[in-house]
């Protein structure tokens, strides 16, 4: 009975992760509550995972990464690429991938990818190169670079934490470097020789990408004195040229007539610059969702919603995004989709881009959060300080050295660095806690409890015996390959860390049942969770999807081959290095 309950709960959790109906941290907490109430695990066992020192280490890494980004260290390095005056296309791609790959081994790969988009597009425009030839390889380099070190990706930290909870030695700081470094090197060679030829390369994409040209959905009010009053929809569209009118509302209800009257609300779509120009010329006001604080230094910025965001599947009218961040939502962009709803009724999806208005300070606070990425250029706030960024980087490198050589525990080394970041005010005080992805920490703690439940009920043994029965006759490599493919495929509908934490308990039990090296299975699964590039659902790939003018087929074709190469390297090298 207990096995059935846990397996049903595991299946339900995976389905909810995939459908993204409920936030994954909420799903995990519901599962933990059910396991405790049903008596499968005790309260102590339910919360043991949250006391893991890797939780503290991951929180510290978020703060350190936030400081490096906030104070312009990553921007400084990206700007070096922007200053390139003359270079061969192949050499440029090599430099970009190598730089991003190395940085992503030590910093948040999503932040690194976001910062490099604008400089890369600028260089491409200067040399008349299609940005699509550079942006996808850059995103892939950030993913592959994260496999090189323990802190390169949260998936590595989460997997190491689970290994420790299972009584195993956690991953060393550079233990993954042999496999991660080879994957990165192979990926670079593939992209500069074969991959670049598979990517689209329309010259007309250069201008669109350089201007981040996106069609937005907005609401405008025909205020007193507006040039729109008394005109028909067709006349307005003809005169504006770049604006499409979707619907007209009067008193919150669809208007029957075709003529626009005073205080009518128009749902319109058009490019960002065209929208702002239209409002100025026609004397209409953009209907703002939310109110920012009064200021003479308001800026407009484009913010991408990441798959980790708490906004997902909620309507913009239901969220507290505007109140929490003190900004106004002006318009919404969704790739390849015309939105015919009022802004307050739009359900947020990963990859949506919000056009918001606020002060530099409030936009910078959003930039600190792990749920969003500001993709349009914006001025730095006065609190940014490059010398504080270099100071943070110095202590970060020192922490890595001290932890790698086991002079002090790695978690303590990173905690000390995070404390220094706070003391020197390298991150704004009101941005300290928002810099941490709390949902990921909950996921790690909750899935650790799930592993305990699988082990206590014998569900892990049941699943392991089933897998061995299916794949065992084909040999140990077939078993390992099965787990690697399962992990890589699961990363498409769910986060990389979630996929690894779902598969690890079963893989560990399978290894023990078949008397195969448990560590080999763990490392193969953790690495496989970070190299799936077959669809643009990972945050780094999502960031370049629109500015690169890509289609999903471009990822399936180019990223699919690269994913296969990476999986083959893992299957060959991990057993060779860690034993089989």
Residue 100 has pLDDT above 90, yes or no: yes
- The whole-number average pLDDT for the span 213-241 is 85
Q: Are strands 298-305 and 353-359 parallel, antiparallel or unpaired?
A: antiparallel
How confident is residue 271, by pLDDT bands cut at 50, 70 and 90? confident
Three-state SS annotation for 306-348: CCCCCCCCCECCCCCHHHHHCCEEEEEECCCCCCCCCHHHCEC
**What are the angstrom distances between the C-alpha of 135 and each of 93, 119, 198, 560?**
9, 11, 13, 16
pLDDT at 223: 84
Buried b (16+ CB within 10 A) or exposed e, 317-351: eebebbeebbbbbbbbbbbeeebeebbeebebbbb
| pLDDT tens, position by position, 477-492 | 999 999 999 999 988 8
pLDDT at 203: 54
> Do 307 and 337 share a domain, yes or no?
yes
Q: Where are the alpha helices (DSSP H) in 87-176?
A: 89-104, 109-126, 132-145, 154-165
- Whether the CB-CB separation of 156 and 526 falls below 8 Å is answered with yes
Host H or E run for residue 216 = strand 215-221
Lowest mean pLDDT among 55-69, 353-367, 549-563, 564-578: 353-367
Distance CA 505, CA 461 (A): 10
Distance CA 236, CA 244 (A): 9
- The whole-number average pLDDT for the span 202-231 is 73
Residue 380 main-chain phi, psi, to 5 deg: -75, 150
Whether 113 is covered by a domain: the verdict is: no
Residue 99 has pLDDT above 60, yes or no: yes
> Do 221 and 249 share a domain, yes or no?
yes
Residue with tokens 């200021």: 295
**Taking Cα atoms as reference points, which of 157, 143, 21 lies closest to residue 501?**
157
> Two tokens at 93?
């791609």
Distance CA 346, CA 185 (A): 43
pLDDT at 210: 47
Residue 547 has pLDDT above 90, yes or no: no
Of the three residues 348, 374, 400, the one that is the final residue of a domain is 374
Query: What's the CA dihedral at 383, 389, 392, 398 to 10 degrees?
Result: -170
Whether 446 is covered by a domain: the verdict is: no
> Do 349 and 326 share a domain, yes or no?
yes
| pLDDT tens, position by position, 33-66 | 999 999 999 999 999 888 888 888 888 988 898 8
Whether 114 is covered by a domain: the verdict is: no
- The whole-number average pLDDT for the span 286-299 is 62
Distance CA 140, CA 406 (A): 31
Residue 479 main-chain phi, psi, to 5 deg: -65, -50
- Whether the CB-CB separation of 132 and 512 falls below 8 Å is answered with no
pLDDT at 297: 66
pLDDT at 381: 46
**Taking Cα atoms as reference points, which of 388, 307, 308 lies closest to residue 71?**
388
Percent of the chain at pLDDT exceeding 70: 93
Distance CA 139, CA 109 (A): 9
**Taking Cα atoms as reference points, which of 359, 358, 218 lies closest to residue 285?**
218
Q: Give the global pTM.
A: 0.80
Whether 42 is covered by a domain: the verdict is: no
Distance CA 278, CA 359 (A): 23
Lowest mean pLDDT among 21-35, 70-84, 146-160, 513-527: 70-84
Q: How is residue 50 annotated by DSSP?
A: G
Of the three residues 345, 374, 403, the one that is the final residue of a domain is 374
pLDDT at 526: 96
Domain holding 317, by residue range, is 298-374
pLDDT at 291: 53
Whether 196 is covered by a domain: the verdict is: no
> Do 280 and 336 share a domain, yes or no?
no
Distance CA 25, CA 131 (A): 36
| pLDDT tens, position by position, 387-441 | 888 999 999 999 999 998 889 998 899 999 999 999 998 887 766 777 788 888 8
pLDDT at 141: 97
> Do 302 and 368 share a domain, yes or no?
yes
Residue 295 has pLDDT above 70, yes or no: no
Whether 13 is covered by a domain: the verdict is: no
**What are the angstrom distances between the C-alpha of 38 and each of 32, 42, 102, 453, 529?**
10, 10, 47, 11, 31
> Do 280 and 221 share a domain, yes or no?
yes
**Taking Cα atoms as reference points, which of 199, 192, 187, 197 lies closest to residue 147?**
187
Host H or E run for residue 33 = helix 24-37
Count: domains in the chain: 2
**Taking Cα atoms as reference points, which of 502, 217, 486 lies closest to residue 349?**
217
CA 455 to chain centre: 31
- Whether the CB-CB separation of 307 and 537 falls below 8 Å is answered with yes
| pLDDT tens, position by position, 326-343 | 888 888 988 777 788 888
Residue 370 has pLDDT above 70, yes or no: no
> Do 271 and 319 share a domain, yes or no?
no
Residue with tokens 């600028």: 122
Residue 296 has pLDDT above 70, yes or no: no
- Whether the CB-CB separation of 328 and 300 falls below 8 Å is answered with no
> Two tokens at 531?
């190299």
CATH number at residue 250: 3.30.70.1450
Lowest mean pLDDT among 18-22, 95-99, 422-426: 18-22
Of the three residues 261, 286, 311, the one that is the final residue of a domain is 286
Host H or E run for residue 417 = helix 410-423
The residue that leads in pLDDT, 3 or 306, is 3
> Two tokens at 260?
């626009």
Whether 512 is covered by a domain: the verdict is: no
pLDDT at 380: 46
What is the average pLDDT score of the chain? 85
């Amino acid at each position: 009975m207990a096995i059935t309950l846990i397996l049903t709960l595991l299946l339900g959790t995976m389905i909810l992760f995939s459908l993204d109906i409920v936030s994954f941290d909420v799903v995990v907490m519901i599962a933990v509550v059910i396991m405790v109430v049903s008596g499968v695990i005790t309260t102590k066992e339910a919360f043991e995972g949250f006391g893991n020192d890797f939780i503290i280490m991951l929180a510290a890494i978020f703060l350190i990464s936030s400081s490096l980004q906030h104070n312009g260290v990553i921007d400084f390095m990206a700007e070096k690429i922007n200053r390139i005056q003359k270079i061969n296309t192949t050499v440029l791609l090599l430099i970009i991938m190598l730089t991003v790959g190395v940085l992503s081994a030590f910093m948040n790969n999503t932040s690194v990818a976001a910062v490099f988009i604008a400089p890369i597009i600028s260089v491409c425009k200067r040399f008349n190169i299609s940005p699509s030839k550079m942006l996808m390889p850059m995103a892939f380099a950030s993913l592959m670079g994260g496999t090189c070190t323990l802190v390169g990706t949260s998936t590595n930290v989460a997997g190491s934490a689970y290994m420790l909870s299972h009584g195993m030695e956690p991953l060393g700081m550079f233990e993954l470097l042999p496999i991660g470094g080879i994957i990165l090197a192979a990926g670079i060679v593939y992209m500069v020789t074969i991959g670049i030829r598979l990517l689209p390369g329309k010259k007309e994409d250069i201008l669109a990408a350089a201007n981040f040209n996106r069609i937005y959905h907005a609401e405008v009010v025909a205020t007193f004195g507006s040039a729109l009053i008394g005109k028909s929809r067709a006349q307005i569209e003809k005169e504006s040229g770049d604006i499409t009118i979707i619907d007209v509302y009067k008193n919150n209800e669809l208007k029957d007539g075709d003529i626009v009257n005073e205080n009518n609300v128009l749902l319109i779509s058009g490019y960002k610059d065209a929208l702002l120009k239209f409002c100025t010329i026609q004397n209409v006001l953009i209907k703002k969702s939310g109110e920012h604080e009064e200021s003479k230094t308001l800026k407009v910025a484009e913010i991408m919603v990441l798959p980790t965001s708490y906004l997902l599947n909620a309507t913009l009218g239901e969220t507290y995004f505007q109140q929490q961040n003190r900004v106004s939502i002006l318009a919404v962009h969704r790739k390849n989709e015309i939105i015919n709803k009022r802004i307050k009724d739009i359900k947020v999806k990963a990859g949506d881009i919000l056009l918001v208005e606020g002060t530099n300070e409030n936009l910078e606070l959003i930039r600190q959060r792990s749920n969003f990425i500001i993709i349009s250029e914006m001025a730095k706030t006065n609190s940014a300080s490059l010398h504080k960024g270099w100071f943070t980087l110095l202590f970060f490198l020192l922490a890595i050295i001290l932890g790698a050589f086991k002079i002090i525990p790695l978690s303590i080394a990173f905690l000390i660095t995070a404390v220094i970041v706070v003391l020197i005010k390298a991150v704004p005080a009101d941005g300290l806690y928002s810099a941490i992805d709390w949902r990921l920490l909950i996921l790690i703690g909750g899935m650790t409890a799930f592993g305990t439940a699988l082990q206590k009920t014998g569900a892990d043994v049941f699943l392991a015996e089933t897998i061995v029965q299916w794949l065992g006759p084909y040999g140990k490599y077939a078993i390992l390959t099965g787990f690697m493919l399962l992990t890589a495929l699961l990363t498409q509908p769910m986060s990389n860390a979630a996929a690894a934490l779902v598969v690890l308990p079963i893989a560990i039990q399978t290894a023990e049942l078949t008397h195969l090296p448990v560590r080999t299975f763990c490392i193969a699964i953790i690495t496989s969770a970070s190299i799936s590039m077959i669809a643009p659902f990972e945050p780094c790939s999502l960031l370049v999807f629109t500015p690169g003018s890509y289609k999903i087929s471009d990822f399936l074709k180019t990223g699919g081959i690269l994913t296969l190469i990476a999986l083959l390297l893992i299957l060959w090298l991990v057993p060779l290095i860690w034993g089989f």
